[in-house]
Chain A
Amino acid sequence: AQSVAQPEDQVNVAEGNPLTVKCTYSVSGNPYLFWYVQYPNRGLQFLLKYITGDNLVKGSYGFEAEFNKSQTSFHLKKPSALVSDSALYFCAVRLRMDSSYKLIFGSGTRLLVRP
């Protein structure tokens, strides 16, 4: 079965420090990979995606993610965290050959950036 794992329920980091939010996936084919962010009482906002090409993908708000095929991972990173980055982050995968193109989501990781 296709699945996405976000092993950390919460990540705590001090403002100005680098942050990493982990994501691993298990799919039977080549995936498209996504990160979304959810602020309180708001919908999901798209951050970045990996389709093909360069394994390092840059997205909104200074975030980036690295696709690692051998480790089946797509960790989200930012060199210097801001308090305003505190939110719920979701990793998602979509199969290239899935005719419905639906997204399969991880359970989410809450990022808390302290001043």
Chain B
Amino acid sequence: GAGVSQSPSNKVTEKGKDVELRCDPISGHTALYWYRQRLGQGLEFLIYFQGNSAPDKSGLPSDRFSAERTGESVSTLTIQRTQQEDSAVYLCASSQGTQETQYFGPGTRLLVL
């Protein structure tokens, strides 16, 4: 079946603008994760959703970052008042359950000018 999809694949924005990044998990996957990958670095955990449980937001770097998920489907990561340090690849992953392997989407490459 289809893998995790993300849109847009690339986003260029001006400092101070808001951006929305979208993730479509694999159908049937209950857990969804957002990670950030800065240039030349590993991935940093941002936020985790599991079913109807309260999300784990412990990795969000500031209150400019927020995310929502509708049921067990699409998730949106929103960055308000973007800063240049927000430039990175934002990766979404989903898993069938919390203890299963996470499968990643292709990412959204965000550039803040």
Contacts and interface: CB of A to CB of B under 8 A. Distances in A.
B56 A100 contact: yes
Interface in B31-69: 31, 33, 35, 40-45, 48, 50, 56, 58-59
A100 B91 contact: no
Given A36-B104, A44-B104, A102 B45 contact: yes
Contacts of A45: 104
Interface residue tally on A, bucketed by range: 20 to 34
Contacts of B40: 107
B91 A44 contact: yes
A90 B58 CA distance: 22
Interface string A15-43: 00000000000000000001010000111
A46 B33 CA distance: 15
Interface string A75-115: 00000000000000010100000011111111110000000
Question: Closest 7 interchain pairs by CB?
Answer: A105-B42, A100-B56, A102-B45, A43-B104, A44-B104, A43-B106, A105-B43
